[in-house]
């Protein structure tokens, strides 16, 4: 029988490496447990009228625009990522201005967004960040410049894998994975096996290798997927989703039966990214069985975020009908996740 509130002591109490990494941008894992949120995340699950994601798009864009200017830098950084992920080029001028933000993760996210969207109007501005005082921001700027064709910047990113700073090392691995550079595989494997690499570095290196498409990484992801710790299983699921092969998809389906709700939702989301709606019932149960009933406010917020993100990837009508309520959540982070889901659904149609 599936458990819905196993408080994931295996997730929360063992370590917080996956959610305390300042700048590993996986949206949900990125901020909630590092920065926290002083807003409740409860949502009453209901819907009044059938509203299509397309009808919700103006509201979603308004939410993202509003949160790009939020007083909380963590919220700004997440909003930037959504702009890049959903290709909201009309919002990129606002993102460009955030290249000069005082907060390091915001500058990092903005540089990453410029690269991901190849927003050429910000090329000169992001190039200036190659001289930023923070090594993470420099690395993100190098990634962006590589996307503009300056391939020599990959060497700079690879060098960061040898940094003594674990966050710099992890972010370098992330960016090499996003660059899809097969010549970087040997450096990523070296980083993953290197004595002294933290869990967050090894996990990010493994996901980066999967992003590049090397199926040999499956043997490294498997221990994560069968770990007793839910955080590990979620990271393994992300890696399998990044790999995206038929075998990876088969493995993801098996994780829909996991005892921990957040693991099931992560598997459903990754399957949705691969065009497979098999995880729809697992997401729907959050609403139909009120699976958040016994959770505290922060746990409810976290589950609502994961649920919204899964809806965005799966995109079926039975799930998108709940987006209007999620867009009205008291939590900024849930609203942003729901807005992202709306924009992803409209992109698919």
Position 38 in a domain: yes
Position 1 in a domain: no
Nearest of 164, 187, 165, 31 to residue 175 by alpha carbon: 187
**Contact between residue 345 and residue 315 where contact means Cβ atoms under 8 Å apart:** yes
pLDDT digits (tens, 9 = 90+) for 120-161: 999 999 999 999 999 999 999 999 999 999 888 999 999 999
pLDDT digits (tens, 9 = 90+) for 204-225: 999 999 999 999 999 999 999 9
Q: What is the mean pLDDT of residues 60-81?
A: 98
pLDDT digits (tens, 9 = 90+) for 193-203: 998 899 999 99
Measured over the CA atoms of residue 94, residue 338, residue 238 and residue 38, the dihedral's sign is positive
pLDDT digits (tens, 9 = 90+) for 334-345: 999 999 999 999
Position 83 in a domain: yes
Q: How many domains does the chain have?
A: 1
Helices (H) and strands (E) in the chain, counts: 22, 0
**Contact between residue 230 and residue 8 where contact means Cβ atoms under 8 Å apart:** yes
- Structural domain that includes position 232: 9-348
Check whether 30 has a pLDDT greater than 80: no
What DSSP string describes 18-39? HHH-TT---THHHHHHHH--SS
Position 67 in a domain: yes
Residue whose entry in the numeric block shows the structure tokens 């992801």: 221
Q: What is the mean pLDDT of residues 59-70?
A: 98
Nearest of 277, 303, 276 to residue 289 by alpha carbon: 303
Q: How far apart are CA 89 and CA 313, in angstroms?
A: 20
Q: How far apart are CA 207 and CA 174, in angstroms?
A: 8
The per-residue pLDDT for 349 is 77
Check whether 36 has a pLDDT greater than 80: no
Q: Using the 8-state DSSP alphabet, how is residue 278 labeled?
A: T
What DSSP string describes 281-339? HHHHHHHHTTTTTTS-HHHHHHHHHHHHHHHHHH--HHHHTTHHHHHT-S-HHHHHHHH
Within 10 Å of residue 237's Cβ, how many Cβ atoms?
27
The per-residue pLDDT for 20 is 33
Position 22 in a domain: yes
| Sequence-distant (≥ 6) Cβ neighbours of residue 313 within 8 angstroms | 268, 269, 270, 271, 272, 273, 344
pLDDT digits (tens, 9 = 90+) for 170-190: 999 999 999 999 999 999 999
Position 3 in a domain: no
Position 96 in a domain: yes
Per-chain mean pLDDT for the chain: 89
The per-residue pLDDT for 348 is 86
Nearest of 135, 140, 203 to residue 126 by alpha carbon: 140
pTM: 0.87
Q: How far apart are CA 338 and CA 341, in angstroms?
A: 5
How sure is the predictor about 51, in pLDDT bands with cuts at 50, 70 and 90?
confident
């Amino acid at each position: 029988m599936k458990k819905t509130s196993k408080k994931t002591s295996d997730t929360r109490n063992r370590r917080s490496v996956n959610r305390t990494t300042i700048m590993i941008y996986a949206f949900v894992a990125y901020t909630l447990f590092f920065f926290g949120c002083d807003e409740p995340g409860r949502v009453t699950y209901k819907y009044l009228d059938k509203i299509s994601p397309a009808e919700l798009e103006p509201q979603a864009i308004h939410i993202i625009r509003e949160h790009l200017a939020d007083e909380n830098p963590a919220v700004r950084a997440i909003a930037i990522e959504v702009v890049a992920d959903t290709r909201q080029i009309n919002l990129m001028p606002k993102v460009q201005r955030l290249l000069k933000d005082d907060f390091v993760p915001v500058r990092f996210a903005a540089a990453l967004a410029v690269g991901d969207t190849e927003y050429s109007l910000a090329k000169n501005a992001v190039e200036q960040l190659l001289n930023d005082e923070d090594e993470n921001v420099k690395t993100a700027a190098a990634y962006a410049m590589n996307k503009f064709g300056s391939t020599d910047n990959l060497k700079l990113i690879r060098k960061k894998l040898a940094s003594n700073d674990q966050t710099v090392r992890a972010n370098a691995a992330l960016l090499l994975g996003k660059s899809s550079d097969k010549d970087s595989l040997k450096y990523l494997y070296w980083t993953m096996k290197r004595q002294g690499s933290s869990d967050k570095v090894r996990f990010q290196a493994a996901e980066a290798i999967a992003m590049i498409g090397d199926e040999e990484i499956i043997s490294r992801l498997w221990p994560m997927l069968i770990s007793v710790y839910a955080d590990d299983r979620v990271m393994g699921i992300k890696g399998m989703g990044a790999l995206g092969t038929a075998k990876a998809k088969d493995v993801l389906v098996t994780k829909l039966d996991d005892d921990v709700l957040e693991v099931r939702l992560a598997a459903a989301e990754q399957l949705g990214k691969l065009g497979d709606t098999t995880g729809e019932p697992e997401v729907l149960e959050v609403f139909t069985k009120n699976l958040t009933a016994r959770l505290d406010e922060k746990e409810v917020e976290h589950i609502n975020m994961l649920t919204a993100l899964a809806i965005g990837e799966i995109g079926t009508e039975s799930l998108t009908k709940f987006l209007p309520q999620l867009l009205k959540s008291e939590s900024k982070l849930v609203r942003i996740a729901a807005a992202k889901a709306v924009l992803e659904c409209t992109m698919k149609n």
